[in-house]
Amino acid sequence: MALARFGRQVKRQHGVCVKMTAVAILGLCFIFVWSMFSSPSNSVTVQRESFDDIAEPVASSTMVSKSKGKDIEKHDANDNKKKVESSLKEKDEKKVNGSLPLPAHEHKSGKKNEKHVSKRKKDKVKSKLSNKVSKENRENQEQEESQGEETEKENEYEEEVVVDDKEEGLDGESEEKGEMEGDADVDESVDQETQEMAENENEGKKRKIKGPVFDPKAHYSWKQCSTRSKHNYIPCIDVESGFTRLHGYRHRERTCPKAPPMCLVPLPHYGYDSPVHWPESKLKVLYKNVGHPKLAAYMKNHNWLIKSGEYLMFPQNQSEFKGGVVHYLESIEEMVPDIEWGKNIRVVLDVGCSDSSFVASLLDKDVLTLSLGLKDDLVDLAQVSLERGFATFVSPFARRRLPFPSGVFDAIHCGRCTILWHAHEGKLLLEINRILRPGGYFILSTKHDSIEEENAMNTLTSSICWNILAHKTDDVSEVGVKIYQKPESNDIYVLRRRRNPPLCKENENPDASWYVPIKTCLHTVPSAIEQHGTEWPEEWPTRLETYPDWLNNKEKAIDDTKHWKDIVDKSYLTGLGINWSTIRNVMDMKAIYGGFAAALLQQKIWVMNVVPVHAPDTLPFIFERGLVGIYHDWCEPFGTYPRSYDLLHADHFFSRLKNRCKHPVSIVVEMDRILRPGGWVVVRDKVEILDPLEAILRSLRWEIRMTYSQNKEGILCAQKTIWRP
């Protein structure tokens, strides 16, 4: 009907105009349809790496057909597309087996792991990256040439740096929402890595930050923190604002403030004195250094710690375990004779940090125990443990992995445990399985288990192929003790009838832990010679100076050990003016191979070896040596109480953060928070960093004990005072 009416109008007087209008409309429609279904030659923009493949220019009289030109352009685009795909493939193959250095985006993939990226988006990212491949190659080449101008030592340990604006802090609400959504999509590892590469590309221009680490012309004025947790403020764990009775006192997960804290944590209300020195601190500490009302209420129902005058005492014959902790340890060794404390078992994780007498007794047997203080410990027993001089850190343990590599603890203990391991698909026990060494032991002591909980626990441990070596209820302690052992090979996983939980994907990195959600899957036992965890370490103390086959650059590790032994013996112990008898808790803020900690082992101290998340992953080797450590991003506050450490060591630490953290001064504030009054800081770095750092420390009223420089390198030794500005 419409066509007939249109035909009749054409025959009328104004038919010519109508015809021209119709032709114009049809022509526009044809152009629109053609543009929709055709791919223009300039839809893919390619940046060439070279012009070697371009032929000599033809004469002006020579005509080149249009179709031939399109074929050449299409051929170049396909070549560049193949280069991009091969580059992406190489990045995917760079997985860490413990001995390989871990790139920055691998270590920090956790914050992005909680977001889902579709396959369509991955393809789109590849196409967007195609025009930036050659540019990235040139930038990497320039960066390598600039690094070659530095000293040989800096070249050996140079760290890959990537600036990530999103890591500077998250508010509580968005963080919680991300956690809930992240648990559902934790298996999209390939797409997540593609997203990481895209974000790193977008931030490539922000990589190099010009200017010094600290502004030499800046002036600082400080004020005390006015947080609800007051003198026990832990920035990424404690809730700062919005506190009500309906909300918890602490975050469910690590949630750092948007801007790093730039205030100073006050001293306890009742004052603060220098802590009791080691080894006397094993038996008593000053009560006012750790005391608060909830601790006083806790002591009324527990006899392993009592207040006597100005001290908090720890009687040797009293413990959470009736009959004493010594009897408890001996009964464990009788149940499983292969558990030889201090020989076969050297590194232990104690979950819960309830009774630090367990840690003290193991220390007498030459066992180094790292205590995990949980975030819901409102009694702050982890702070008591640190005050006594035991290796301790504070962390939530719910949805995210603990900041450790896989398969590093010889044994894991949970005494008088109240954790529901079988809840939430057994996620927490799967995380214990990840960090437990193949063939390692999980020691669980509980009291009055219900039949339902015991059956659920048996089902879960059977599904992950743990072997129950012993189960006994001690007549004296009235505590039921179960000792499980993790499989030493993958053969038993194949024999499972129900493969639930499933095995993790091959491209899942078991060592990635910083902001990575706990996966509901089983990581296979390492079997390749280049993977750490294939063999049990040598007995202690032989393992301290044993360099396994999977370790890359053994010569560097050996040289690192000799290097720090010479520096400690010839300089640190005698030339810095430090009374080492007052030093117990030490942190190496940028550990490499643990050489600094090994050199101080004879001084009866313990060292927390911190491996930054953007540095090469050497933490598995540190554990292999029988030492302890942790992953951390120093752009965020550390997970511990104020006044935790006696000495902080930073070797070329700030120079590596020049291109990473927005506010390097906040790291100095964090050092002030975690260092005890009277504690020491030893910094080795470039003079251009030490000079403004000295000014910052003076503004904090620290005393500069020694400065020395030579060839643009130097050392700064400072002591924190009790007096506050």
pLDDT tens digit sequence for 226-261: 888 889 999 998 866 544 444 454 557 888 988 889
Question: 498 pLDDT band (50/70/90 cuts)?
Answer: confident
- Asked if 303 and 318 touch (Cβ cutoff 8 Å), the reply is yes
- Asked if 117 and 196 touch (Cβ cutoff 8 Å), the reply is no
641 burial via Cβ count (<10 Å: 0-12, 13-18, 19+)? buried
Rg (CA), the chain: 31
For residues 493 and 249, what is the distance between their CA atoms, to the nearest angstrom?
Answer: 41
What confidence score (pLDDT) does residue 83 get?
47
Indicate the average pLDDT of the chain. Answer: 78
For residues 371 and 382, what is the distance between their CA atoms, to the nearest angstrom?
Answer: 8
Taking residue 554's Cβ as centre, other Cβ atoms within 10 Å add up to 12
pLDDT tens sequence across 667-695: 999 999 999 999 999 999 999 999 999 99
Q: Answer yes or no: is pLDDT of 84 > 80.
A: no
Give the residue extent of every domain in the chain. 212-267+541-724, 317-525
What confidence score (pLDDT) does residue 623 get?
98
Q: Answer yes or no: is pLDDT of 184 > 50.
A: no
pTM of the model: 0.75
Question: If you average pLDDT over each of 164-178, 472-486, 691-705, which comes out highest?
Answer: 691-705
Q: Answer yes or no: is pLDDT of 594 > 60.
A: yes
What confidence score (pLDDT) does residue 247 get?
47
Give domain 212-267+541-724's CATH architecture: 3-Layer(aba) Sandwich (3.40)
Residue with tokens 């030493």: 488
Q: Which residue has the higher pLDDT, 480 or 626?
A: 626
What confidence score (pLDDT) does residue 21 get?
80
pLDDT tens sequence across 387-410: 999 999 999 999 999 999 999 999
DSSP secondary structure, 183-248, as one string: GGGTT-HHHHHHHHHHHHHHTGGGSPPPS-SS-TT------B---TTGGG--TTTB--S---TTS-
What confidence score (pLDDT) does residue 5 get?
54
Question: 446 pLDDT band (50/70/90 cuts)?
Answer: confident
Q: Does CATH number 3.40.50.150 belong to domain 317-525?
A: yes
Q: Does 212-267+541-724 match 317-525 in CATH topology? A: yes
Q: Answer yes or no: is pLDDT of 135 > 70.
A: no
Least confident of 41-55, 289-303, 593-607, 693-707: 41-55
What confidence score (pLDDT) does residue 565 get?
97
What confidence score (pLDDT) does residue 15 get?
62
pLDDT tens sequence across 529-541: 889 999 999 999 9
Three-state SS for 188? Answer: coil
Which residues, listed in sequence order, are joined to residue 608 by a DSSP beta bridge? 587, 628
Question: If you average pLDDT over each of 16-25, 158-167, 175-184, 644-653, which comes out highest?
Answer: 644-653
Tokens describing residue 516: 């990575």
**Sheet bearing 409-414, strands edge to edge:** 392-395, 368-374, 347-351, 409-414, 436-446, 480-485, 467-473
C-alpha pair distances (Å), 322 with each of 102, 325, 382: 46, 8, 22
Measured in whole angstroms, the distance separating CA 585 from the mean position of its chain's CA atoms is: 21
Instruction: Enumerate residues 6+ apart whose C-beta is below 8 A from 28.
Output: none
What confidence score (pLDDT) does residue 36 get?
64
